[in-house]
Amino acid sequence: MPLLAEDGRVSARWGLRRPTEGDIRAGGFSTPWDAPTIPPFPFRFRNAEILTLYWRTDPEAMAFLLPPPLEPVGDVACVHIYKMNDTDWLGPYGEANVMVGARLGDRMGAYSPYLALSSDVGVAHGREVHGQPKKLANLSLDYRGDLVVGRIERNGIDVLTGTMAYKQRAVSPDALKPHFDFATNLNLKAVDHIDGRPAIRQLTSRRLSEVVVHEAWGGPCTVELRPNAQLPVFRLPVVEPLEGFLWRADFTLVPGEIIHDYLTVSP
């Protein structure tokens, strides 16, 4: 039996309905329409294991990576290396988010110049919805005896390797953000029309919801960067490694907001 009936509707055998123009205009739409790639909000992350590492970097490097009118805050960068064990739609995968403190007026948060993950669904969702600069990579979070080792690998190069001691000092969830509020994520969303004209030029913001931290551990850390032209985290050089945190949490990804629209604001 064909997928489409003679009148264009999806065959009842498949239990599906052909989208209308209204469906396509509505929010939450994703292609292909019979097997969409982009998850609708909200979706839940359960039992995520996270290694968060902070290091002091070059303030000029931070400023170079920030799109105006965002301004840098401080001189500290961080990376979160996630072992996502159970995520709606995406399933288990690895992710890494490199962040620097930033602000837009009185709005404080953390800007992501680089993100990497092992899920094609996660790459598509991050780029199409949030404007995050996600690229495919191999991520690992390993426990090697008394050492926690986090790694970002792309193109056969270990772009970032970070370590901290295994669960030596328990800390409260409030201790996880000593330098900036990384729960508020700022991103540059840039999408063109097919003819090359700019379609979207926005700064977006989103904040994780329903965060439950099951455990958190802190201690000194190390961060090693290696150059890679496709994932140039080395542009945030390690001046001084600071503290690291190993934590386990649940959280929900919910819709965000547009905080600056370059196409509607007069230059």
Q: How far apart are CA 83 and CA 91, in angstroms?
A: 11
Residues 150-186 as b/e (b if ≥16 CB within 10 A, e otherwise) read bbbbbeeeebbbbbbbeeeeebeeeebeebbebebbb
Number of neighbouring beta carbons within 10 Å of residue 20: 9
Least Cα distance to 80 among 54, 103, 58 occurs for 54
CA–CA dist 220, 183 (Å, integer): 22
Q: How far apart are CA 27 and CA 10, in angstroms?
A: 22
How far is Cα 76 from Cα 54, in angstroms, rounded to an integer? 7
Distances from the Cα of 141 to the Cα of 52, 110, 117, 183, angstroms: 11, 23, 13, 21
Task: Find all residues with CB under 8 Å of 104, minimum gap 6, and list them.
Answer: 69, 70, 71, 186, 203, 259, 260
Q: Please pick, among 134, 167, 177, 189, the residue that the annotation labels catalytic.
A: 134
Q: Is 177 a catalytic residue?
A: no
Could you give the residue numbers annotated as active site? 134
